[in-house]
Amino acid sequence: MKVSLFITCLGDAIYPRVGEAMVRVLARYGVSLEFPRVQTCCGQPAFNSGYWQEARASAKTILDAFEDSDFVISPSGSCTGMVHHYPKLFESDPVQLARAERLRDKSYEFTQFLVNVLGVTDVGARFPHKVTYHPSCHGTRLLGVKHEPMALMSHVRDLEFVPLPYAEDCCGFGGTFAVKMADISGAMVSEKVDHVKETEAEVLVGLDMACLMNIAGNLRYRGEQVRVMHLAEVLAEGAGLA
C-alpha cells in the first residue's frame, strides 16, 4: 500500500510545519507516507486564470509524481480540488485523461483521509484554547469536506469551539484574484477578520494554507495576535507530537 504526500507549493515553500504535523499525526496510525520529490504545483493559478496549456504542464508533473500511489494526501482542499479538475484539462487526450481520473479517485484532503479512510476522529489530543474555524470554499464546496474537521475538533479535549459568523463566506484569496482585484479581495479579507475578531478566539483553524495565509496576513497587518493554524498542527501539538 503506497500512501503519498502531496505537499503543495505553499506547504513546501512557506508552511513546512503543516506537512510535518500531517506526517506525525498519520505516522501515529502506522501510515508510512512517501514523498515523491518530482512533484511541483497542481497548476491551479494557471487553470483558474484560463491558461490551460500552462496548467497542463504542471498537472503532468503531478500525474507523474503519483502514478503508482494508492492514496494521495494533501493539506489543502483547494489543491486536491484542482486534481478533480484534471479530467477537464485532458478531455481530448485519452491517455492522460485515464491517468487524471485515476489520480482524482485516489486523492484525499488530510481530514477526509483521516476520518473517512482511517476511521479516526479522536487522535487523543488536548488543546486548551478558544478556537474558531474557517471552512475553505474549495474544500467544502468542491470536495464536500464538512463534517470531518468538526468530528476531529469535537474530540480534542479542552478545546473551546466558537463558531465563526458567516463562516462559509470566502476569505477573498482566490489566487490571482487577490492580486488582480486587490481592493475587492482586501475588503473581503477585512470582513473575514472582523468576524474572526468577533469570536474572541485565540486560534483560527483551517484546512487550507492559502486561505489561512490570506487571513493571517490581514490579522498581522492589523496587529492582531490571533494564532493561525492548520488543523493538522492543532492535532499534532495537542497530541504531543510536535
Q: What is the DSSP letter of 78?
A: H
Residue 143 or 205 having the CB closest to another protein: 143
Residue pair 29/56 in contact (Cβ under 8 Å)? The answer is no
We find the least distance from the C-beta atom of residue 38 to another protein, in angstroms, to be 5
CB of 128 vs another protein, minimal distance in Å: 25
How many chain residues touch another protein (CB under 8 A)?
89
238 binding another protein? (CB under 8 A): no
* Residue that has been written with the C-alpha cell 507516507 in this structure: 33
Contacts (Cβ under 8 Å, ≥6 apart) of 134: 164, 167, 171, 192, 196, 204, 205, 206, 211, 212, 215
Residue with cell string 496510525: 29
Q: Is 202 in the site for another protein (CB under 8 A)?
A: no
Question: How far is 81 from 78, CA to CA, in rounded Å?
Answer: 5
61 interacts with another protein by CB under 8 A = yes
Report how far residue 164's alpha carbon sits from residue 101's, in angstroms, rounded to the nearest whole number: 35
Contact 117, 71 (CB under 8 A): yes
Q: From the CB of 158, what's the least distance to another protein, in Å?
A: 25
Interface positions, 130-169, toward another protein (CB under 8 A)? 137-138, 141-145, 168-169
Of 66, 73, 132, 174, the one binding another protein by CB under 8 A? 174
Site string for another protein, 6-35 (x = CB under 8 A): -x-x-xxxx-x--xx--xx--xxxxxx--x
Residues 75-134 that bind another protein (CB under 8 A): 81, 84, 104-106, 108, 112, 116-119
Tell me the closest approach of the beta carbon of residue 231 to another protein, in angstroms.
17
Element (H, E) at 148: helix 147-154
* Comparison of 135 and 238: residue with beta carbon closer to another protein: 135
